[in-house]
Amino acid sequence: MAPSLLFEAVLAQPGQGVGRACALLCALGAEVLLPGAVSISLRCSKALADRLGPDRLIQADAVVRKRYDLAQDQPWLCSDGPDPTLMRVALPALAEGVSGFVRIPPCAAQPPLPGRPIHAPRPPLSPLPPDVPYFHLQAPEDLSALLGARDLHQRGETGRGVRVAVVDSGFYAHPWFGSRDLGVRVLLAPGARAPACDEIGHGTMVCAALLSLAPGAQVTLVKQNGDDEVFVAFKLALSLSPDIVQNTWGYSLAEGRLGAAEDLIAATLEDAIARGILVVFAGGNGGLLYPSQRPEVLAIGGVFQGEDGARQAASYASGYLSKLFPGRRLPDFCALVGMAPMGVYLAMPTQPGGQIDRAFAQQPYPEGDDTPPTDGWVVISGTSAASAQVSGLLALLRARAPGLSQERARALLAKTARAVHHGASAQGNPAGPGQPNVATGYGLVDAQAAFEALPSVIDTIPP
C-alpha cells in the first residue's frame, strides 16, 4: 500500500462549510483526521493529491531544502507550483469550500539522538536525581526559587484549575511526579501510539519543568506522531480550549517570503489567541524557527544563573533579530537555560532508557551529563524547558486573573522581568546594555513581581 501524506485543507471561509468539505474529501478517498476552524487535517495518497489540481507533488529540490534547512537524507514531497507548500484546487465542487491544500514543512528535530530505546533490566527508578560532580539545578526546588514562585506556592498559589495543553513527544509516569502527587493526562494525536510511553523523553522533561512552577495546573499532553505531524497535534490541543498551550515545535525558516504554510499557521494562532488561549513557544536552541518568530506569540529564550548567583544570557539559547518580521526581536523573555555546548543544567526526570536518557549518557560533562543511560534522569535544558517554565508561571497568573490575555501577559512579563546585561546568545548577540536586548529580550521572568503587578496591568491594558 502506498504511504499516505498529511495535508491541511484550508477552508475558503474560516468556520464555514466544514461538514460539507469533510464529506467531499471523504468521497474522494481522503481520510479526514481533524476538522478545525481554519483547516481540515487529512491524509491522502500522492495519486489523489495529484488529481486535485494543477500542481503535482515532487521531492523537494535544493532551493526548498535550503529554505527549510532540511537534512540531506530527509525526504519531503512538496508542490511543484509557485509555492512549495500549496497545492491549488481545480475541482469545482471542492473549490467552493476549500481554497487549497497545504503541506506543513517538517519540524526541526532535536539534536540527533542515537538508536532505539534500551529495554535492558534497570534498577528501580528514584524520585530523586543522581549526584553529579558539577553545578546544576534541581526541579522543582531551584526552578521555583530562582523564578520567584516559591513564596507564592507557600501562600497556596499553585495554578489550580488552569488547563494547560502541552504539545510534545509523550509522557512517562516517572516517580518524580507520583512522589509529589502530580499527574499528566495524555491524549494521542492522530497516528500517535503508546500513551504510557515517551520514547524520546522530551515531553516528560517539559511537563516536569511546567509543574515545577504550577503544581496545581491541569496538564494534558498531546502526544504528536513524529516531527512531520506536529501541526495536527497542535490543532488537537487547541480543540481542548485550554487556558494555555505550551509548544516546543517549529521548523527552520530564516528569511524570504512567507508561504501558504506560514499563513495557515498564522491564521490558526490568531484564532486561538482571539479565543483567549495563551500561546507560548520555545525560541530555539541556536535555530531560527517558525512560528516562534511571529510577533503575536510569546517566544521564550534562556538565562543562565550560576553558582554565585550572577546571571548572563544562555549561550545555548537563540537570541536574534528576525528577518521575516522587521523589528521583531527574539526572545520576548527568558527562563533558566544552561550554556553551550549542550545546555547541561537542569536535573529532570525522563523515560528510562529513552533517547534523551541514553544520548546524554554517552559523553562526559559538558557534552553529556555523566548519568547512567537507563536511570530515568537527564541533566539538560534548552528553550523547551524554559518555555515550559514560563507556561507554568502564566498558569499561576491565569488562576488569579482569568482575564489575562496574550497582550496583557506580554505587557506584564515585560514590566516585571529582571534585566540581564551580560553574556551572549547562541548567535553571538550580546545581552546588554538596554532592556529589551537581542540576547534575552526583557530578561528573566519573575513570578513574584508579576503577581504583584498583575492588578495594575489588568486595569490599564485592554484584553
The catalytic site residues sit at: 168, 202, 384
CA pair distance 49, 31, nearest whole angstrom:
12
Q: Residue 377: enclosing H or E segment and its boundaries?
A: strand 377-380
233: its cell numbers: 497535534
CA pair distance 158, 212, nearest whole angstrom:
10
Number of H helices, E strands in the chain: 14, 22
- Dihedral of CA 76/204/174/124: which sign? positive
Give me the DSSP letters along 249-288: --EE--SS---HHHHHHHHHHHHHHHTT-EEEEE--SS--
Cα atoms in the Cβ-side hemisphere of radius 13 Å centred on 48: 18
Asked if residues 301 and 441 have their Cβ atoms less than 8 Å apart, the reply is: yes
326: its cell numbers: 522587521
- Give 35: exposed, middle or buried? Use CB within 10 Å, 0-12, 13-18, 19+: middle
CA pair distance 6, 31, nearest whole angstrom:
10
Task: Fill in the amino acid letter for 110.
Answer: Q
Nearby residues of 249 by Cβ (< 8 Å), 6 or more positions away: 107, 167, 224, 227, 230, 231, 234
In angstroms, the Cα distances linking 111 to 126, 166, 288, 369 are 27, 20, 15, 15
CA pair distance 408, 421, nearest whole angstrom:
25
CA pair distance 292, 365, nearest whole angstrom:
30
Count of residues for the chain?
463
Nearby residues of 423 by Cβ (< 8 Å), 6 or more positions away: 304, 312, 313, 314, 315, 430, 431, 439
